Amino acid sequence: MKKIVILFSGDGFNAQNIVQKLHNKECFVACGITNKKDAKGIEKLTSLGIQTKVLQHGGFNSREEFDGKLVEIINSYKPDLVVLSGFMRILSRVFTENIKAINIHPSLLPKFKGTRAIERSFESLDNECGVSVHWVNSELDGGEIIVQKSFLKEQNETLENFSAKIKQIEYEIMPEAILKVLKI
């Protein structure tokens, strides 16, 4: 069975979704790793029987030093794939050149790279919006697209409704992208 490691920083809803849809069915989730000791995703994954580790980035002298330790922890699990699921860190070449990873991003890349993508997409004049899953490389949100799914923005749509559509698409396409990459 193919093995994955999930990286997250916050609530862990996407990580939870991945575990519920794929763990011990299509692949094995070996571990969840977060850079925040108070990430709510820790409780979600632990309640699903997934081991979690905390590696806080604040105690390191550089981004590269943190990424080196992160790579070391990931490699101890020998995963077939690393899945960034709301992992809010810009990764250095120490990570991107040593780890095979995919990331989910709440816009139709290459538009709205980086932070606040949902808000920027919502505020834009674009009628077509959506979500992308892409390979992680040294360019922020710049790796090759694996899966994208779009929807049409409605007139007078609220940010809350727009965000809910984004989340629903994320829950659909991240498991799809994982299976596609792992060729399951």
Which residues is 139 bridged to in the sheet?
none
Burial of 57 (0-12, 13-18, 19+ CB in 10 A): middle
Could you confirm whether 105 is annotated as catalytic? yes
Q: Which of 23, 57, 105, 134 is catalytic?
A: 105
Say how many C-beta atoms besides its own lie within 10 A of residue 161's C-beta: 12
Please count the helices (runs of H) and the strands (runs of E) in the chain.
Answer: 6, 7
- Angle at which helices 13-22 and 159-182 cross, to 10°: 40
| Sign of the dihedral defined by the CA atoms of residues 19, 22, 82, 165, in that order | negative
What is the amino acid identity at position 128? E
DSSP letters spanning 116-146: THHHHHHHSS-SEEEEEEEE--SSTT-SPEE
Closest by CA position to 85, among listed 179, 4, 145 = 4
Catalytic residues: 105
